[in-house]
Every structure is written in structure tokens, then in C-alpha cells.
Structure 1
Amino acid sequence: MSAEPVTATLVDRAEQRGAGAAAMLADHVVGAARAPLAEPVRRAAKAVLLHNLVVGLAAHGMPLPGLPRSHALPWAERPATAPDLAFATALRMGARAQHDEHPRSVTHLGSAVTPAVLAVAPRDVDGGRLLAAIAAGYQVGGGLGVALLPHVRARGMRATGVVGPIASAAAVAAVLRLDPAAAADAIALAANRAAGYTEVWLEGTDEWRLQTAAAARDGLESALWAAGGARGATAAIEGRSGLLHALGVDDERGAAIVGELPGALGGESVIAQMLLKAHPVCAINQAAVEVAIGLRRELSDADLATVERVVVRLSDADAAYPGIDLAHPPASWAQAMMDARQGVAIALADGRVDASALHPGSAEALRLRALVDVVGGLPSTAAHGAAVEVELADGRRLEGACDGVEVDAERSARMALELLPAAGLPLALAERLPALVHSIDEAGGVARLVDALAGIAPWEALCRA
């Protein structure tokens, strides 16, 4: 696929576009694709890209859903097409549950947007253009996702599955520099891929891994179809049989959502709002685990044996999210990752949370888990704040709280030094990766980054279009 602008051959294709949601989103994408990023947004985009690459590479060698390590899915291990590659890299980016999250929309934008862009961008693409496309996808996904979140949750759907394909399509449209009509078609086609339910958290099954990977693939496919001339419904989002209707949004609220889109797209940068996960647990559990790790430093082994009760306080919405307040010990890794009791218990038992320790958990962690209560009542924060109280038999009470876990490029770089060698990847790559991402917008920056991934499937196939 050429990276040059794709121009519609039918004049009426553009003339038929009104002021619907897809057209508004497309207008933002086209403008963002050509405008230089403000420096704070550029720094945020680099920090987010680094983090997602680190956690994706750290999943190297992890078994794919439902398959033992010795088996492979050809399209996920040896991708032959750009959509296959987007699926394969997104699958790994979310495998440790440490991909980024936009707290206001509860959407994992990085694993939907970034793999799609990297799968289709050419090796010689300007790094600034690549970052701008990624940021545009985040802005579309976050701007639309905030408005849709209450309706998505009410339907038992997962925000990433609903908004992710649209964000992915927007980002690919930006990096390919589709014209406004084609970009609107890409977004409309992607809206038809909205899917994914939160029953996965209640049963601890594998859909969560596939939902984000499908979002990356489906958005990319939608953009490629649109680039080739495929049409999408003008009112695919707000029409009387469109996405908003399917989510149970009434006409008045639907009109308000469309009317508010320009403000959301032109407002604060979404990519600068992202929560980067320090621990291999749900975003909602990050702060609780971080606080529990800090409290463990104040407890001796003898103290730990006398713990009588642990209270984890979250916002009402976070405490009620499916899977967070699990009544029984988790039956799978997916349930353990979502379970606030399990994460906090392991943090107290081990002083850290390793992905391999999450399930089934040590005997000590399971003993502590039985003492943990999860309650609401905290004010909602922009980063899933939490408070933890530990009560000991001698009457002492240890308390800690934080509004959210701060992860920046420096912390992600430290994570690379720990996680990549543990996954069997060279320490030299872990040491170089932060500098490679930092210089991605310099001449030849994208090529240097992908060259550093040589020999690491499926990452070595990125930016080869």
C-alpha cells in the first residue's frame, strides 16, 4: 500500500458527506495527519509508544490463548498480511495486561492503534508523521469513547472492543493520508466491527486478549478497504440504525454526543492522559497494588503473619466493574489479573506482582486474599485511585493511598531492563530501546527502530510496507 495520499475518484463521494460523526472524526484525522505535534504531545506519544513496545516485547514466548507453547497460529506467529501483523503484535502488546489505558473511556488505545499503524507504515516513513497518526487515533478513540462509555457499560460491552476499531481505522487513515471522504468511510466501516463483552471478566476466559487484537486488525482492514473505494454508511455512528442506536442511546443524547465531538477532538490531548501500567494487573488495580507494595516495606515477615484484615477502597464505579470484586479465588490468569483481592494479596505476600505469580498464587497470598475486602466510596479520579488499610492483631493499622500510578518514559525504560531479558530477549535491546524511540522522529529513526527488532517475530515484520 502506497503511503502517498489516496484521492477519491468520485466527486459525489465527498459531496454526499454531511456533518455526521464519521465526517467530523475524519476531518480531525485529516487535519492531524498534516499538522506538526505540539512538543508536549510529541513527548507523550514517545513515552506511550515506548511503554507499549516494552510490555509487548516482554510477552515474547508467552503461549497464545488456548494453545500450548509448542503450537502456533500461522497468522499470529508468521503473519503474511498487514492485518495479520496488526493482530499478532496487538495480541502480544496486551498479553501481560500492561498495555496502556485511557481512564476516562476505560479503553486500551495503544494495543488497538499502534500495531495497526506500525503494520502498514513504510520503513522510510517520517517518524513525526508516524507519531501524529498514532496521536490522532488516540484522540478519536478517547474523544468518542468518553461519550460512549456509560452506554457501553450499560450494554455489558467492553469499551476497547467498541471504540478500538474506530481508533485504529482513524490512525491508519492518518498515516496513509487518506482524503476526508475515504477517512470517513474507514471510520464508518470500522464502526461495524464494534464488539466485545465483559462476561469475560466474570468467567475468566480468553476473549479479552482477542478483543484488542481484533480491534487493531479490524480497524486496519476497514481503512484499507476504504482506501480501495469501499463505502461506509454516512450515519454509521449516529443513524437510526447505527452504533449509538445499538448501544441504546436515545435521539436527544445521540445528537448531543455528535454535537460535543468537535470540542472533544480539539480538547486536551488524549495521548497525554494515558495510564501506563507498572504491574501486570487491570488498570483499576494499579494504584491498589502500588500502595500494597509500599505497605509491605513497613511489615516484617512476622507482622505479615498477624494480618487480620485488609480493606481496599476504590471509587464506586471501579469497585463495581466486572471481575474487580471477585467473590471466590480466581480460576484463571484472566480472573486473577482483574481481581483486586488477588493483586493486593500477592503484593503484600511478595512485595511485588510478577505475571507468573498471579495465578494460582502462593499459599501465603491465598491466605491473605481471604482477608481482603473491596469497597467503594472513594471519589473517582483520572487514574483509578485507591486506598489500602492493613489491620494487625496487635491493633496497629497501616494505611496508604494514591490517586494513580505514575509511569513515565524513565520508569518504562527501567521496566525494559527487567522484563525483556526475563523474556529471553537481549539486554542490549532493552538498553537501546528508549533511545531508539526517543529519536524516532529524526532522519531514519523508524528504520533504526525496526532494524533493532530483527529476528524477533512478529515484531521484525513491522514497517515493511
Structure 2
Amino acid sequence: MTSRDLAAWAGQLTFGDLPGHVRHATTRHLLDGIGNAVAARRLGHGRAGWSVAAALGGPPEARPLTGNQAHSAPAAGMATAVLVHALDFDDTHAGALVHATAVALPAAFAVGQQVRASGAQILTATTVGLETACRLGLASPHGFHSRGLHATGVVGPLAAALVTGTLCGLTVDQLVDAIGIAGSAAGGLLEFLDTDADTKALHPGTATLNGILAARLAAAGAGGPPSVLEGRRGLYAALSARDSDITAVTAGLGSRWEAAAIGIKPYPSCQLMHVTLDAVGAALAGRMVDPARITEIEVHLHPDSIPIVCGPNTGVAAPRSTYDGKFDLPWSVAALIHDGTVDIATYTAESIARAAVLATAAKVRVVESGIGGPAAAAPGHARITLDDGRILHGRVAGSRGTVALPLDDTELRAKFSANCADHPAAGELADRVFALADEPGLSAVLDLAATIAAQN
């Protein structure tokens, strides 16, 4: 069974088995996830997850990232996961279309504190989570989304269960049970796309919570179906609307690393609109164009992206919430034209209420590109027509931050520092994360993150 092969790999993986480039990739994603959580906390996002975690309480096993009060590991993991994903600024694997760090980091940090793991052990467990989440998504690209499910919410519990199980020293049989139990918690409806709901930001939180609980249940003797992946009522048969290739979960496991192929976002919005924002930016070529002079903005979009970022409300009404704006491609394109950038300040209550930006959004015309392959790895094309007949063209081969056009460490540090509001301790925190393998545990990292997040 595939779950046994996955469990056997995860159960025996050591820090020494990780190639240098994989270790570095994992630390990059940890740094990015920490920065996103810090930004969310200092800006007041993720409060519901934080409040519920505090109310759940439990034995003081782990502090949530950016906090000082310890809760049970499941509660701490949930609160951290909601923060990491709250701004939709966290990383994305293009082929799998999953937010791997949003479930791997919270489980590794919470359970790592619980068992007093070293930095090297936490980094190894995080890599297990990243690799598992990406491979589970790759087995059926866009299949869960096509069924109306958030892929991160589907694969997240299984990835978090493996992270937890490896840190807790579960046997291979127990890891198989943990994966099987976690599969029954897989879900995450995309219905939020038609409303102003917060549920997408909560999906990694419930996934992490359920993954940690699944591993604990397995350790206590509960059994899970070993056929949870390929079974006739398993994950893909029940939850994917497209064909699946179960061999993708374990093919090249230990030699080909999907954890090193995860993109880091330059914009705090849905990954599927990033290539369009880059194409529009290329058309503007650094110029500020008077929006009143624009008669049409034509953008070419992958067919899988259109239902996600071009819903019936987009381009005809203001975003229903700040989170809704992150899935409104016409409005986000218009904001880029008006402001010259798309950043955290783009998606505030005041910003999404701007009538002038909505008027420009109404000029966006979406054309289906007909291009195959993963939507998050598609090229972008934009045409901006001005009132004097001039047409500004923008073409990009892919979006910045993806594995094909990655952000380098300097750019990643700049994003991290901005998320930390340029706090003077941000540099020290970044250095410690990049050297996590040498840390005895997480105390110094957690202390710095809490200090930085506390600033106004």
C-alpha cells in the first residue's frame, strides 16, 4: 500500500539524509511561514483561531508561533496554522496547488516543543510534511479543486499526521494508522469563494489539529485504513474530480525532492492571479498610467484559474471582504494599476472600498488561454488599451516566486523584514531560522517572533 511506503520513508528519514539544497529550501519556507505569521498577528488577523486555542488550553506543551502562553500541542498547532495562512501570503507548490508550509510548520513547531526536539529534528520533520503535502497534491493536479475542495485542507491532515508521528517516534504500523485516520478528516470546501467567509484561512488550522490528533489516536491503538489513498472509497476516489496517479506519491521518494520545488509568493493573494499581475506589471514597465485613460485591460488566463479568481462578483462589485479581494483578479489588477504595487496594504477594508479601483476593475476582460499544464505554472499575457489607441503588451513565462523564477535569499529576507515591519530583531530571527539545524530547540526563535509580533 502507498501509505505504508510513505510511512516507511518518513519513519526512517534523518537529518543526514537531507541533501544540502533540501535543507536550505526547508529553512527558506520556515522563514517565510514565520514572517507571514508575524505579519498576520501584528495586523490583527487570525484572532478566532487564537481565541479558540487559548480556550482549549490543555497541558502547557507548546506555544503558538508569536505567542507567550503555552497550550496543548494540537491547540498551539491550530493557532499557528491559521496565522501562517491568514494573509494568503504563504508558499504554493504549483503542480500540487497546496500550501505545504501552512500545515508542515505548525505541526513541527507544536509537536517539536512537546517532545523537546532539536532544531535538526524539527527541520527534518518539516521536510517530511512539505514533501508529503506536495506529493499527495501532485497525484491529482487540480483534482480536489475541481471537486470544490481546497487541496490544502484535503492533504493537510495526512501531512501533519506524519510530521507528528515522526517526531513522536511512532512505528511504521502506527504511522500507517495515523495516515489512515487523518484521511477521514480531509476536506475544506471552496464555498467561501462565493461569500465573505473566513473558512479558507481556517483550513490549515483544522488540518493541523486533526493531523496531530490522528497521530495521537494511532499511538493510543486506533487503527486507520492502509488503503486510505488508493482504495475505492479512499482520498482520490472520494474527493478528486480528476484522474489520479497514485505512483506520484512515492515515485523517486528520497531522491527527487518536491520540498525544493515550492514557490514563495511575492503578492499576498491567490497564487493563480500572480502571473497576471506580473504580466500587467510588464505591460506598465514601471510607468504610472492614468487609469482614466485606459479603455480595456485584456488578460489571458489558464482555464483552471478562472473559476477561482474570476467569480461572478469580480469586476462588477467591490470585494465582499479583505480576504475576498485576494481572490478577485479584476480588482487586484486594478489596484496594481492605481498603486503601482500589490502588498499587504492592498487588502484592507479602506482599500477594497475604493470606487475608483472598482471602476478600473470593470475594464478587465478575461480571455481563456487554452494552455494546458498546471495553472499556477502557466505563462501570462496582458494587453492594456489606452484612449489614444496605444496598446501596452505584457508577457511573462511564469510568475515570480515559482521554482522557474524563484525569489533569491536576499528577496526572501526583504519580504520577511517587511512582514516584520522592519523590526530591528528581524535580522537576528532570520539568521537563527537559516541556522535552525544548530539550535537546541525553538525557544530563541519563538521568543524573537513573539517580540516582533507584539509591535503595533
Matching of residue 383 in structure 1 with residue 364 in structure 2: no
Task: Give the CA deviation at 1:97.
Answer: 0.6
Counterparts of 1:68 and 1:124, CA distance in 2: 24
Matching of residue 102 in structure 1 with residue 73 in structure 2: no
Q: Specify the code of the residue in structure 2 equivalent to 1:111.
A: A
In the TM superposition, what are the counterparts of 1:406-421 in structure 2 within 5 Å? 406=401, 407-421=407-421
8 A Cα contact 1:45 1:271, kept in partner: yes
What corresponds to 1:397 in structure 2? 391
In the TM superposition, what are the counterparts of 1:52-91 in structure 2 within 5 Å? 52-64=33-45, 74-75=55-56, 80-91=71-82
8 A Cα contact 2:420 2:453, kept in partner: no
Counterparts of 2:427 and 2:206, CA distance in 1: 31
Aligned partner (choices 285, 294, 309) of residue 307 of structure 1:
294
Counterparts of 2:392 and 2:178, CA distance in 1: 53
Assess, with a 3 A threshold, how the Cα gap between structure 1 residues 431 and 266 changes in structure 2: closer, same or farther.
closer
SS at match of 1:59: helix
Matching of residue 171 in structure 1 with residue 158 in structure 2: no
Q: Specify the code of the residue in structure 2 equivalent to 1:415.
A: K
What corresponds to 2:431 in structure 1? 435
Matching of residue 224 in structure 1 with residue 224 in structure 2: no
4+ long deviations beyond 6 Å: 65-73
What corresponds to 1:461 in structure 2? none
Q: Specify the code of the residue in structure 2 equivalent to 1:276.
A: I
SS at match of 2:18: coil
Residue identity over aligned pairs, in percent, reads 26
Gaps of 5+ in 2: 57-63, 402-406
What corresponds to 1:45 in structure 2? 26
Deviations 1:55-89 (A, max 9, x none): 11111244456969999963588662111111111
TM-score computed with the length of structure 1 as normaliser = 0.84
Matching of residue 444 in structure 1 with residue 440 in structure 2: yes
8 A Cα contact 2:230 2:236, kept in partner: yes
Assess, with a 3 A threshold, how the Cα gap between structure 1 residues 120 and 248 changes in structure 2: closer, same or farther.
closer
Deviations 1:15-71 (A, max 9, x none): xxxxx2221221121132465210111111111111111111111244456969999
Q: Specify the code of the residue in structure 2 equivalent to 1:318.
A: S
Assess, with a 3 A threshold, how the Cα gap between structure 1 residues 154 and 300 changes in structure 2: closer, same or farther.
closer
Assess, with a 3 A threshold, how the Cα gap between structure 1 residues 270 and 343 changes in structure 2: closer, same or farther.
same
Gaps of 5+ in 1: 1-19, 459-465
Deviations 1:77-117 (A, max 9, x none): 86621111111111111111101111111111111111011
Deviations 1:255-274 (A, max 9, x none): xx444433153453111111
What corresponds to 2:135 in structure 1? 143
SS at match of 2:424: helix
SS at match of 1:265: coil
Q: Specify the code of the residue in structure 2 equivalent to 1:354.
A: D
What corresponds to 2:321 in structure 1? 332
Higher mean C-alpha deviation, range 161-170 or range 73-82:
73-82
Aligned partner (choices 267, 276, 280) of residue 268 of structure 2:
280
Q: Specify the code of the residue in structure 2 equivalent to 1:139.
A: E
Assess, with a 3 A threshold, how the Cα gap between structure 1 residues 64 and 155 changes in structure 2: closer, same or farther.
same
TM-score computed with the length of structure 2 as normaliser = 0.85
In the TM superposition, what are the counterparts of 1:351-366 in structure 2 within 5 Å? 351-358=340-347, 359=349, 360-366=352-358
Counterparts of 2:160 and 2:129, CA distance in 1: 6
